[in-house]
Amino acid sequence: MTQIAFIGLGNMGGPMAQNLIKAGHALAVYDLAPAALEAARAAGATVATSPANAVAAAEVVISMLPASKHVESLYLGTEGLVAQIAPGTLVIDCSTIAPVSSRKVAEAAQARGLAFIDAPVSGGTAGAAAGTLTFIVGGDTAALERARPYLSAMGKNIFHAGGSGAGQVAKIANNMLLAIHMAGTAEALALGVANGLDPKVLSEIMVKSSGRNWSLELYNPWPGVMDNVPASRGYSGGFGSALMLKDLGLATEASIASGSAVPLGELARNLYALHSQDAGAQDFSSIVNLYRKAE
């Protein structure tokens, strides 16, 4: 049993923390949302009164926060956790954030003798609940090996992308592709429906044809086509459109930093910027409503 501090108990962090408890670890948790803390308490966690309180006795610290600014403000500065966590502690940030922010936190952590890895995840809320997430790790091999037992309690695939920030770069590239194929899937389904097809029949055809992709097959955006996906529950839960917009912004930043052309990624970012104006909290598959409104 390891004493773990877990900070950020949202759609992803909540179920991830519960899987660590199920694996026999003792968790001290912190979140800004009282409801998230209550759910963790009910699952057996100890609720901390502040981030500093959560990490006081921690052997491992895990964070799962929305964006770069949340991670930087949690760890950096005079009040930040890097200054409070005991040297030698392993710190795992699972948030999807800018590689440059991740490297900044990693450098500050390493300067204080902490072992730090970025370990953003893929697999969505269903993967978080089932403990089948994919972790995409940036950092040194020794820190990854220390993290492996905890990551294995929350996921089933662990990739080592490279040094600090490399996990973030791989995650951002993946999510840019995800946004592109989700928007493309929504567009194809809307085209078929507008021309008289049943979206379920069209989905069955395309899943066995060359248009097959993850969004179509496992996360269908059209309501009524699949059970147990956000489209079947009014786009609640899942991965928010505003978070997808954030990831596409990270892809744009990375493309500028490297002089890369990402024309489809930019188009997807603009679609999500329009869509997030009134649907930022809805799952990202609700992008289909942009096309359905235009019918």
**Catalytic site residues?**
171
Among 4, 5, 6, 8, binds ligand NAD (CB under 6 A): 8
Q: Closest distance between ligand NAD and the C-beta of residue 195, in Å?
A: 32
Which residue of the chain is nearest ligand NAD when measured via CB?
A: 10
Of 132, 136, 171, 129, nearest to 155 (Cα)?
132
Q: Which is nearer to ligand NAD, 211 or 249 (CB)?
A: 249
Q: Which is nearer to ligand NAD, 93 or 190 (CB)?
A: 93
Q: Which is nearer to ligand NAD, 125 or 164 (CB)?
A: 125
Q: Closest distance between ligand NAD and the C-beta of residue 210, in Å?
A: 27
Pairing of strands 26-30, 90-93: unpaired
Q: Which is nearer to ligand NAD, 192 or 238 (CB)?
A: 238
- For residue 67, report the phi and psi dihedrals to the nearest 5 degrees: -145, 175
- Check if the beta carbon of residue 248 is closer than 8 Å to that of residue 264: no
- Applying CB under 6 A, the span of 52-60, 64-72, 141-149, 200-208 interacting with ligand NAD comes to 64-72
Query: Taking the CB of residue 202, how many other CB atoms lie within 10 A of it?
Result: 20
Among 4, 5, 6, 9, binds ligand NAD (CB under 6 A): 9
3-class secondary-structure state, position 212: coil
Q: Closest distance between ligand NAD and the C-beta of residue 258, in Å?
A: 21
Of 251, 252, 239, 249, nearest to 280 (Cα)?
239
Which tokens sit at 276? 């997030």
3-class secondary-structure state, position 221: coil
Binding mask 23-42 for ligand NAD (x = CB under 6 A): -------xxxx--x------
Q: Closest distance between ligand NAD and the C-beta of residue 214, in Å?
A: 13
Q: Which is nearer to ligand NAD, 50 or 277 (CB)?
A: 50
Ranges within 92-131 binding ligand NAD (CB under 6 A)? 95-96, 121, 124-125
The reply on whether position 10 binds ligand NAD by CB under 6 A is: yes
The reply on whether position 147 binds ligand NAD by CB under 6 A is: no
Q: Closest distance between ligand NAD and the C-beta of residue 127, in Å?
A: 8
Q: What distance in Å separates the CA atoms of residue 171 and residue 117, rounded to the nearest whole number?
A: 14
Q: What distance in Å separates the CA atoms of residue 283 and residue 154, rounded to the nearest whole number?
A: 22
Which DSSP state fits 259? T
- Check if the beta carbon of residue 283 is closer than 8 Å to that of residue 235: yes
Give the chain's count of helices (H) and strands (E): 13, 9
- Applying CB under 6 A, the span of 2-10, 135-143, 155-163, 267-275 interacting with ligand NAD comes to 2-10
Among 21, 62, 65, 85, binds ligand NAD (CB under 6 A): 65
The reply on whether position 239 binds ligand NAD by CB under 6 A is: yes
Beta bridge partners of 63: 7, 93
- For residue 153, report the phi and psi dihedrals to the nearest 5 degrees: -75, -15
Size of the site for ligand NAD (CB under 6 A): 26
Residue 275 makes CB contacts below 8 A (sequence gap 6+) with 241, 286, 287, 289, 290
Which tokens sit at 1? 């049993």
Per CB under 6 A, residues contacting ligand NAD are 7-13, 30-33, 36, 64-66, 70, 74, 95-96, 121, 124-125, 238-239, 243, 247
